[in-house]
Chains A and B, each alone.
Chain A
Amino acid sequence: MVFESILYLNAEGSARRESTDPPPCFSDLNLDQVVDTITARRQEYNLKPFFYTPLDDSDDIRYRQEVMQDLEDETLLESIRSFAEKMAVVRRYLGLAEKLEFRNHREGWFLEAAIVYCDAVAALAHDLGRAGLRSRGLLAFRTYLTDYVSSDGFVSLAEEAARVKADLSAVRYCVTINGLKVRVRKYEGETDYSAEVEQTFEKFRQGAVRDYRTKTNPAAGMSYVEAQILDCVARLFPEAFANLHGFCERHDRFLDETVRRFDREIQFYVAYLEFIAKLKEAGLPFCYPEITTAKEVYDYEGFDIALANRLVPESIPVVCNDFFLEGSERVIVVSGPNQGGKTTFARTFGQLHYLASIGCPVPGRKARLFLCDRVLTHFEKVEDIKNLRGKLQDDLIRIRAILEQSTPRSIVIINEIFSSTTFRDALFLSQRIMERIVELDCLCVWVTFVDEIASYNEKTVSMVSTVVPENPAVRTFKILRKPADGLAYALSIAEKHRVTYQHILERIRP
């Protein structure tokens, strides 16, 4: 297999256009927030299109899952991070070199870029060589990189760069500044005066004190005074500078296209893994879903990844929920009191399937998810005066559009539809929509107050948000397949806070 892309299994996939706009379900599922967080510190890679483009082949998904699983090895991930940091430096140096006006200076930075590049590539090849890789993607890339690193072009680039740099680094010179006069000559062993002064003050300098040395910024450039000094130095050491000029002419385009592409694409994985690492640290589980084309799906201890993204930094616990569909079950109808986690549950269902479709591990301890063609969402919208429709009418128009787009392979998430009418109407309309959904045989999560549709037929499953029965103000955020049993007393609040005898024994360790 010829390596092309770490994100796409075959050339067709890689040729496919990356979507620059998020899918319509993104904002309803709050995935836009999640992707914003994931990509926030990686703007330069332009990763969002990768997150906007779902895959429709389960082998493509597995290709990514394999790479992701390989990258869960912290050592390997560290190697990739270090590679990425170096490549960022290469880009910065090259960008800098482009802007500089003095030749000896400009070529100096070009040489630095080449050195960092060689180091980045060689180190990555070395690290990959020692890594226990299993994914097709990384194995193929390793082969590619091994070949590249031993190619003549790369070897001579690296050797020459090192030689030229060594000669330049050996240069030592002295500058005398007296008033406005400057003279430059080779350094000839004059003694260090700072050392003498420092020794005198040693007694008063103990401890970690602030550093008053001026910070020199490598990108600060060079004044023309320094450039003139550099020209004097170049005249004192003509050979070293002639070699530098030669190097820059011979290697003016040294970046390998495949390596460059890998550098960008691998960030998709690194960014996602870094993001979920914070959630995992908070005890939230993630797993690689089995991708199925049958409709028997499940997820245990799943959660809303966008909500977790908001709660975990504030150390607020995130409630996990389970679901499963078996046999002919297709539609989960979620009912129960407000603010009980129903919408969150519905979102979770949609997010899980979307994340699975881009090859990412998903919230949950164990999951099997459906290979869907799209996730469609119907969430309550603020009334929009511009569309000149009533809310109920708007609901109906939007749900019709969704039903028209959906196929038996779609996932439909409906959140409190038909709230803007009488109960009787809502029941009637809901039943009609339910008929269509059941007939379509797609997977659906439907949040509603119309309890009657929960038992529509054998394809519907009823789930209920639960509260502490004795104090209905207290939400558990648990969505259960059966109604709560009504047995929650004071001690159950203690249970909730994990401060019963048993809990405390478990929580306090010597």
Chain B
Amino acid sequence: MKAFLMYRDRDFDPDEKLPPNADALMQDLELNTLLEAMARGDEFVFAICRQALLTGLDDPEAIRYRQDILRDCLKNAAVVRELYQIPIEAMVNKRKSYLGIFSIHYASGVLSNAIRLLEMFVELLRKLRRIADEHAESFQSEGFRRFFAMIARELDDDYSAVVDTHLKALRFRGGVLLSAQLGQGNEGTGYVLRKPPRRQAWVKEVLTARSPSYGFSIDPRDDHGARALSELRDRGIDLVANAAAQSADHIDSFLKMLRIELAFYIGCLNLYERLTELGEPIAFPVPVDAGRRRHSFTGLYDACLALTMNGRVVGNDLCAEDKGLVIITGANQGGKSTFLRSIGLAQLMMQCGMYVPAESFSANLCGRLFTHFKREEDTTMKSGKLDEELARMSTIVDEIRPDCMVLFNESFAATNEREGSEIARQIVSALLEVRVKVFFVTHLYTFAHGLFESRRQNVTFLRAEREEDGRRTFRLVEGEPLQTSYGEDLYGEVFGA
């Protein structure tokens, strides 16, 4: 039994190793804000959504699989939330009655606990079956249809009765018969439980022994001997205890996996409801192959900013086909960083199968997303600022491959303009050459202007808008880099000149 709600053919791995730059992404894209809205206080949902966002997919088919399931979820929110309660109930029950087979090291203990667990699980599976019977019809996605069909098939009506019978048979009231052979050091091994003799047959067998037999008895006062004997008995029932315990485990892990995989969609539901409250739109993105270059969208906004501001925020439009580099320049406080974050956020959301914060959105997938944002001065004094930035750049180069994407935010400015520009130029030119997609917010005029002069076809220049009177629109428009970033405006604002 597999839930398979995250992947068509495998379980979601909540412990999959995160990319080494996960922390940088969390920080630079303000992912905590997004995840808190998704979690709505549920730490488990938080953790799973975080995992999903940071271990995105790079196959458009796999993304569409999740998108379809998510559409079903948005349509059947109440049913999905009810389903999510089932694994939670199992967890609560286990905790309440201290059920668990984990710390027991002898077979008879494993067996009796496994039987109790199985009885509890069977009850919950019946409930799951009822939900499936009632609501399967209103789900269209391939993932949910398979899931409900699996439930109906695996948990047919006879099954719980059959299980009950066998759970009883495993009590072994009448003693055990084992066969064995001599293993290493002549120690008994390969104990196999054999069909137990009937009660009367025991006496008869001894009396009418078909073949020679030898025997002995343990003195009733000999605790040590009795323990040794029961250990031997345990070895005999080891396999059946294992079978029962593994079955309990399997159902347990099925329910756990169901919780994990539903948690992602619960997170999506929560965020959707929140954004809808704020009056913000969402769109299911159209992913295209990583080998292509596209960033075309309308009304793309920074969901984290909207959540923080608790209201609608300015969105941006862009139509960039076959562009490998987007240079963003312009006014201070003009929305450049916000724009860059919205690009990163949309990319992560798209690649984990979510909707994106936009009116419409289509972009190429990328192998991995990297951010290179300014950092605070290194307090350990291990290295200077430029040194630190370049060290981080080097780490990115270590990991990056063609068709990945990097977002630079005012990088390489910790030296003079000419040298910073030269470093930026070299790095960006090389990245473009190896087909890495780049968004670069910069005040380095020599760098931006130089690129503009080179008239490359695959570069787009965006500029943060500023009205004649200095007001910011927080909207980006296509435009040539300027020599000023209007720092004077800020000065004026702050000093009231």
Residues of B within 8 A of A179 (CB): 175
A491 CA / B390 CA spacing, docked (Å)? 10
Contact B226 A213 (CB under 8 A): no
- Kindly identify, within residues 205 to 231 of chain A, every residue whose CB is under 8 Å from any CB belonging to chain B: 205-207, 209-214, 216, 218, 222-226, 228-230
- Residue of A whose beta carbon sits closest to that of B192: A192
Contact B107 A112 (CB under 8 A): no
Contact B401 A226 (CB under 8 A): no
- B92 on the A face (CB < 8 A): no
- A183 on the B face (CB < 8 A): yes
Contact B181 A171 (CB under 8 A): yes
A186 CA / B180 CA spacing, docked (Å)? 10
Contact A508 B427 (CB under 8 A): no
Contact A171 B182 (CB under 8 A): yes
- A242 on the B face (CB < 8 A): no
- Kindly identify, within residues 177 to 219 of chain B, every residue whose CB is under 8 Å from any CB belonging to chain A: 177-182, 184-189, 192-197, 202, 206, 209-219
Residues of A within 8 A of B386 (CB): 490, 493
- B1 on the A face (CB < 8 A): yes
Contact B401 A501 (CB under 8 A): no
A489 CA / B374 CA spacing, docked (Å)? 21
Residues of B within 8 A of A168 (CB): 182, 186
A187 CA / B191 CA spacing, docked (Å)? 12
Contact B186 A230 (CB under 8 A): yes
- B235 on the A face (CB < 8 A): yes
A394 CA / B170 CA spacing, docked (Å)? 81
Q: Which of B209, B212, B431 is in CB contact (< 8 Å) with A236? A: B212
A185 CA / B231 CA spacing, docked (Å)? 20
- A507 on the B face (CB < 8 A): yes
- B391 on the A face (CB < 8 A): yes
Residues of A within 8 A of B193 (CB): 192-194
Question: B369-407 toward A: CB 8 Å interface, digit per residue (1/0)?
Answer: 000000000000001101100110110011011100000
A183 and B243 in contact, given A174-B179, A175-B178, A201-B166 (Cβ under 8 angstroms): no
Question: B452-468 toward A: CB 8 Å interface, digit per residue (1/0)?
Answer: 00000000000000000
Contact A236 B251 (CB under 8 A): no
A501 and B430 in contact, given A187-B179, A209-B253 (Cβ under 8 angstroms): yes
Q: Which of B188, B194, B416 is in CB contact (< 8 Å) with A192? A: B194
Contact B192 A212 (CB under 8 A): no
Stretch at the interface among A103-111, A358-366, A400-408: A103-111
Contact B214 A490 (CB under 8 A): no
A93 CA / B185 CA spacing, docked (Å)? 9
Residues of B within 8 A of A175 (CB): 177-180, 188, 232
- B225 on the A face (CB < 8 A): yes
Stretch at the interface among B316-324, B356-364, B417-425: B417-425
A212 and B241 in contact, given A197-B170, A206-B1, A218-B185 (Cβ under 8 angstroms): yes
- Kindly identify, within residues 455 to 509 of chain A, every residue whose CB is under 8 Å from any CB belonging to chain B: 471, 473-474, 489-491, 493-494, 496-505, 507-508
Contact B398 A504 (CB under 8 A): no
Count of A-B contacts with CB under 8 A? Answer: 276
Contact B194 A190 (CB under 8 A): yes
- A1 on the B face (CB < 8 A): no
Residues of A within 8 A of B197 (CB): 176
Residues of B within 8 A of A499 (CB): 390, 393-394, 397, 423, 426-427
- Residue of B whose beta carbon sits closest to that of A172: B181
A193 and B250 in contact, given A185-B211, A491-B422 (Cβ under 8 angstroms): no
Contact B225 A225 (CB under 8 A): yes
- A44 on the B face (CB < 8 A): no
A109 CA / B187 CA spacing, docked (Å)? 9
B-side interface mostly: helix
A204 CA / B170 CA spacing, docked (Å)? 16
Residues of A within 8 A of B434 (CB): 504-505, 508, 510
Q: Which of A205, A497, A498 is in CB contact (< 8 Å) with B246? A: A205
- Residue of B whose beta carbon sits closest to that of A474: B387
- Residue of A whose beta carbon sits closest to that of B110: A212
Contact A177 B184 (CB under 8 A): no
Q: How far is the CB of A79 from chain B (nearest CB, A)?
A: 24
- Residue of B whose beta carbon sits closest to that of A184: B214
- B233 on the A face (CB < 8 A): yes
Contact A504 B177 (CB under 8 A): no
- A422 on the B face (CB < 8 A): no
A260 CA / B65 CA spacing, docked (Å)? 62
- A200 on the B face (CB < 8 A): yes
A212 and B246 in contact, given A184-B213, A228-B216 (Cβ under 8 angstroms): yes
Contact A232 B214 (CB under 8 A): yes
- B91 on the A face (CB < 8 A): no
- Kindly identify, within residues 435 to 466 of chain B, every residue whose CB is under 8 Å from any CB belonging to chain A: 435-436
A153 CA / B200 CA spacing, docked (Å)? 56
Q: How large, as a class, is the contact surface on chain B?
A: 35 or more
Contact A214 B384 (CB under 8 A): no
Q: Which of B169, B415, B433 is in CB contact (< 8 Å) with A490? A: B415
Residues of B within 8 A of A171 (CB): 181-182
- A188 on the B face (CB < 8 A): yes
Q: How far is the CB of B339 from chain A (nearest CB, A)?
A: 25
Contact A201 B244 (CB under 8 A): yes
Q: How far is the CB of A214 from chain B (nearest CB, A)?
A: 6
Residues of B within 8 A of A473 (CB): 384
Contact A214 B192 (CB under 8 A): no
- Residue of A whose beta carbon sits closest to that of B250: A204
Residues of A within 8 A of B41 (CB): none
Contact A107 B186 (CB under 8 A): yes
- Residue of B whose beta carbon sits closest to that of A231: B214
Residues of A within 8 A of B398 (CB): 507
Residues of B within 8 A of A151 (CB): none
Q: Which of A223, A494, A500, A502 has the most CB of B within 10 A?
A: A494
Q: Which of B154, B169, B245, B400 has the most CB of A within 10 A?
A: B245
A471 and B232 in contact, given A235-B214, A490-B420 (Cβ under 8 angstroms): no
A503 CA / B162 CA spacing, docked (Å)? 67
Contact B251 A108 (CB under 8 A): no
- B176 on the A face (CB < 8 A): yes
Contact A177 B216 (CB under 8 A): no
Residues of A within 8 A of B426 (CB): 494, 499-501, 504
Q: How far is the CB of B248 from chain A (nearest CB, A)?
A: 8
Contact A491 B184 (CB under 8 A): no
Residues of B within 8 A of A211 (CB): 242, 246
Q: How far is the CB of B332 from chain A (nearest CB, A)?
A: 24
- A181 on the B face (CB < 8 A): yes
A105 and B185 in contact, given A183-B206, A193-B196 (Cβ under 8 angstroms): yes
Contact B215 A194 (CB under 8 A): no
A489 CA / B105 CA spacing, docked (Å)? 66
- B152 on the A face (CB < 8 A): no
Contact B430 A190 (CB under 8 A): no
Contact A181 B217 (CB under 8 A): yes
- B240 on the A face (CB < 8 A): yes
Residues of A within 8 A of B180 (CB): 172-175
Question: A58-96 toward B: CB 8 Å interface, digit per residue (1/0)?
Answer: 000000000000000000000000000000000001001
A213 and B239 in contact, given A182-B216, A182-B217 (Cβ under 8 angstroms): yes
A209 and B250 in contact, given A191-B195, A225-B225 (Cβ under 8 angstroms): yes
A176 CA / B248 CA spacing, docked (Å)? 29
- Kindly identify, within residues 92 to 125 of chain A, every residue whose CB is under 8 Å from any CB belonging to chain B: 93, 96-97, 100, 104-105, 107-109, 112
Beyond A490-B422, A499-B426, list 17 extra A-B contacts (CB 8 Å).
A108-B186, A172-B181, A174-B177, A177-B175, A177-B177, A180-B218, A180-B229, A183-B206, A193-B240, A212-B110, A218-B187, A225-B228, A235-B214, A494-B426, A500-B430, A507-B398, A510-B401
Kindly list the 6 A-B residue pairs having the minimum CB-CB distance in the complex, ordered from nearest: A108-B186, A504-B430, A204-B247, A223-B228, A183-B215, A185-B213
8 A–B contact pairs at CB < 8 A?
A194-B239, A198-B239, A204-B247, A209-B250, A218-B184, A236-B212, A508-B436, A510-B402
Instruction: Give A contacts to B, CB under 8 Å.
Output: 93, 96-97, 100, 104-105, 107-109, 112, 168-169, 171-188, 190-194, 197-198, 200-201, 203-207, 209-214, 216, 218, 222-226, 228-230, 232-233, 235-236, 471, 473-474, 489-491, 493-494, 496-505, 507-508, 510
